[in-house]
Chains A and B, each alone.
Chain A
Amino acid sequence: MPPKPLDYVSINENVKKSQYAVRGELYLRASELQKEGKKIIFTNVGNPHALGQKPLSFPRQVVALCQAPFLLDDPNVGLLFPADAIAKAKHYISLTSGGLGAYSDSRGLPGVRKEVAEFILRRDGYPSDPELIYLTDGASKGVMQILNTIISGQDDGILVPVPQYPLYSATISLLGGTLVPYYLEETANWGLDVNELRQSVAQARYKGITVKAMVIINPGNPTGQCVSEANLVEILRFCYEENLVLLGDEVYQQNIYQDERPFISSKKVLMDLGPPISKEVQLISFHSVSKGYYGECGQRGGYFEMTNIPPQTVEEIYKVASISLSPNVPAQIFMGIMMNPPQPGDISYDQYVRESKGILESLRRRARIMTDGFNSCRNVVCNFTEGAMYSFPQIRLPPRALEAAKQAGKVPDVFYCLNLLESTGISTVPGSGFGQKEGVFHLRTTILPAEEDMPAIMDSFKKFNDEFMEQYEDNRGYSRL
């Protein structure tokens, strides 16, 4: 009997090869335990609302009104919704061609894309063309579309930071391309050394790979570093010299927890460099409504902006976008509001600012609490979370722990994280899901649990860690970098 097409042996190898640890083994085990009644703290994914962060009021009011526009004519609507939300809803409905239920332009509503362009102009000081901004069902879809355009086969290489957010490794795998790693330097605050880049590219080319693109995640995920302007200049010059398109994942641009390195967009740095570089380096920048202070992961809203991409290529990207007809319209409205928020004088302004600031300031405090908590453990070293939503401590494991992991048939950090989960209910993602140097182990957790729960969570972690070390340590010390 020949194998059937959907038997395991018969399916696409690329599917089998690709991995996405964020919802992989640890998460599945955590879900099992939860079903059995154990209390689980899910810190495996950047999903703020799932951990109690509230949505901002104004966008929800506006979108609710857009969903049910018959409310707008009801004389009592003002009892539940402020006047500026009502006006904003009417504005967005007028931008649609038939309300929330009609497919929009495949690139997204022109009016919203205009709002995005205006935001970018205000942010960077350089004009942005709405025609080169495409809204997508989350930034992830945009990343997949662009990588699909770039990758023809296994000879096409994409430079990806290690550690990285595994959307990149999984997608490159699915598309049959080659991931070309460049290692971030943990001891230099996850800094990027251009020499490391050069080496990675040279090695890849030696193996016959055409390196076509470079991914940077700024602020970093899982690493949390905010890339300095000087570093961005180096990166852009590097892309210019090596003929690479730069893919700038900037979804965490609003999550900045220190003042030394504010967010600066790759686009701005590129434009600041002036011609010829500013006219030649191809750049695609990604943003999302899932992070920042909105945290609206479930809406699936994002965009990418194209810079210096030839019109024929843009047409091809449009063509592929059109096959999926259109991104979901409610999320486009969330994006519009995020780009074009209430202004001073608007009824909802104060509340909007208060809610946003509250979230960001709390995230800043939690970043500090978590980093300090990890660093107070003697076998843990943790770089400060300068931005994004994660903490990525390095856990130094003694040889007997490594041995026990081997016996259990698990990679050491997976072993550690599974034990942590069973002991404390804290569900993290092992560092191996993101990539790390050989023999060095990490885990990724989010800084998203409620502020009042943080001290207890860090205590719980410390208690587990100390007991784990007690169990596996011997007097000869433990693994070092």
Chain B
Amino acid sequence: MRKSAADRFRHLFNRSLLLRHHHHNPPPLSSSLSRPFSSMASDSPFPVTAHNINPKVLKCEYAVRGEVVTLAQNLQKDLQANPGAHPFDEILYCNIGNPQSLGQAPITFFREVLALCDHPTILDKSETQGLFSADAIERAWQIVDQIPGRATGAYSHSQGVKGLRDTIAAGISERDGFPANPDDIFMTDGASPAVHNMMQLLIRSENDGILCPIPQYPLYSASITLHGGNLVPYYLEEATGWGLEIPELKKQLDAAKSKGIHVRALVVINPGNPTGQVLSEENQRDIVEFCKQEGLVLLADEVYQENVYVPEKKFHSFKKVTRSMGYGEDDITLVSFQSVSKGYHGECGKRGGYMEVTGFSTEVREQIYKMASVNLCSNISGQILASLVMSPPKVGDESYESFMAEKGNILASLARRAKTLEDAFNKLEGVTCNRAEGAMYLFPQIRLPGKAIKAAEEANTAPDNFYCKHLLNATGVVVVPGSGFGQVPGTWHFRCTILPQEEKIPAIVTRLTEFHEKFMDEFRD
């Protein structure tokens, strides 16, 4: 009888952790704050210096892998060289939604199918049946047959392999109860490139604005900056569980218009990142109406659609909501993003995703296709995985039971960790933390005493950054300061993932609690 895949994966993973200490070679990048001004000054003869590169590149920021993370990597290097030099023996990366880097096991069925598609010559060998489940072999056959010449190494159609898009469209249909067209699907290396494509398409100049939630996932702010546009913020209401209020949307839209900004689109992240709220259907209907009335493209980031942890909320796609309101292609332009990186599958490293684009003209579709074609296509393995995510094993399939068990365990564990960490944060002095109804993050608010804020100013750093660096140095836990996501001015937050392995959570809670008490003791007014 085969050992459970999760057990064997864990065993391999732990071994790789041990081996990694010998292999890992973190970068020598030091904090840009402390770097002395380079000798490559403005009189440099070089064509490419920090002074003459694209200023949009200089302007954009992405805190998820920013300063605190760089410091953490240096600390990690130091830990290897001098074990015992710090009050912790490992760095815990809670900065990034990267489940498998923290021990979450991949879904066995998906990996079986991917392995077979990577090496299809073994599909008709009898030994294969002893190593792989029958339905994985069958699914792999189906998939390779949809690929011309069974060539999984060839560039596909620039929107993705047609057969895989058919599968995804069927999956969307089944999820929503409304049809989906495979020609509306554009497969990309993760959802992020699809977001970039939309920003490129929509932003003509700095007079074009995109409404984004604050707090937001900084892909949006960075992408808008890179494409030379204007981020028009709308504030989510922390006091009501990060509620999205239409009056706030309207207020911000009107303010932007009065400044001469053409607001082109509204970004909604549901479930929210970093905020974790799951929108109610009623709220979603109001948002759809708003976009329709104001002529805005609705950009629906739905990558966490499988991550919902509270029984009173359910994920409804914006596609479903618009269609159930009777709105079709002529009424609203909607772009929905999905990814293989999140959910219960957590396959970040595969870079798989797609956008479903509805409600635009043929000529614009041609332009989107044209842009996609310059990069030829997204990686095939990621495409296959996206089709699996949208059409997993069904009742009666050989792998169904084990698949459901793996999926259920992962989601239940995520829900437990979300609750445990939320409760822990709420017990800390001056800290409040909204529930993570979905996604993978907690975003507690820390009320920093005046003394701490002053110390941060003296250290020439934002107060939440100051707190996070202290937290890192004391506990080895890496979180991202709220300023990386945006927050109401004068409030401070940090984003922490719920992803460390469940058995490590109690120790993390203890360390965090002890650190926070000491910090408040030191800086209490």
Contacts and interface: CB of A to CB of B under 8 A. Distances in A.
Interface of A: 2, 4-8, 10-16, 18-20, 22-24, 45, 47-52, 55, 57, 60-61, 63-65, 67-74, 76-77, 79-80, 93-107, 110-111, 114, 130-131, 137-138, 140-141, 144, 148-152, 167, 170-171, 174, 212-213, 243-245, 280, 282, 290, 295-300, 308-313, 315-316, 318-320, 322-331
Contacts of A300: 189, 351, 377-379
B297 to A, nearest CB: 5
B50 A298 contact: no
B348 A23 contact: no
Contacts of A65: 115
B321 interface: no
Contact of A72 (B12, B26, B32, B125): B12
B52 A152 contact: yes
B169 interface: no
A149 to B, nearest CB: 5
The residue in B57, B58, B119 that gathers the most chain A C-beta atoms within 10 A of its C-beta is: B119
A6 B297 contact: yes
B226 interface: yes
A298 B377 CA distance: 7
Nearest to A1: B295
A64 B57 contact: no
Contacts of A45: 155, 376
Contacts of A6: 201-202, 297, 333, 359-361, 364
Contact of B201 (A15, A107, A325): A15
A282 B16 CA distance: 38
B156 A298 contact: yes
Interface in B342-383: 345-351, 359-361, 363-364, 367, 370-371, 373-382
Nearest to B53: A149
A140 B375 contact: yes
Interface in B92-128: 96, 98-103, 106, 108, 111-112, 114-116, 118-119, 121-122, 125, 127-128
B329 to A, nearest CB: 12
Nearest to B5: A70
Contacts of B52: 152, 212
A298 B154 contact: yes
Contacts of B380: 298-299
Contacts of A12: 200-204
Contact of A7 (B115, B204, B349, B361): B361
A288 to B, nearest CB: 11
B12 A64 contact: no
Contacts of A99: 9, 12-13, 16, 100, 106, 349
B168 interface: no
Interface stretch (B60-68, B172-180, B452-460): B60-68
B118 A103 contact: no
A297 B47 contact: no
B258 interface: no
Contact of B116 (A2, A64, A74): A64
Nearest to B378: A300
Interface string B145-186: 000110111111010000000000000000000000000000
A335 to B, nearest CB: 13
A92 to B, nearest CB: 10
Among B54, B96, B122, the most chain A Cβ lie within 10 Å of the Cβ of B54
Contacts of A137: 189, 351, 378-379
Nearest to A167: B374
8 contacts: A7-B361, A50-B149, A97-B24, A103-B98, A298-B377, A311-B35, A325-B190, A326-B349
Contacts of B265: 5
A180 B296 CA distance: 38
Nearest to B25: A110
Contacts of A171: 374
Interface string B37-58: 0101000111111101111111
Most chain-A CB neighbours within 10 Å: which of B57, B114, B378? B57
B102 A5 contact: no
A243 B345 CA distance: 49
B442 interface: no
B198 to A, nearest CB: 9
A114 B25 contact: yes
Nearest to A246: B47
B264 interface: yes
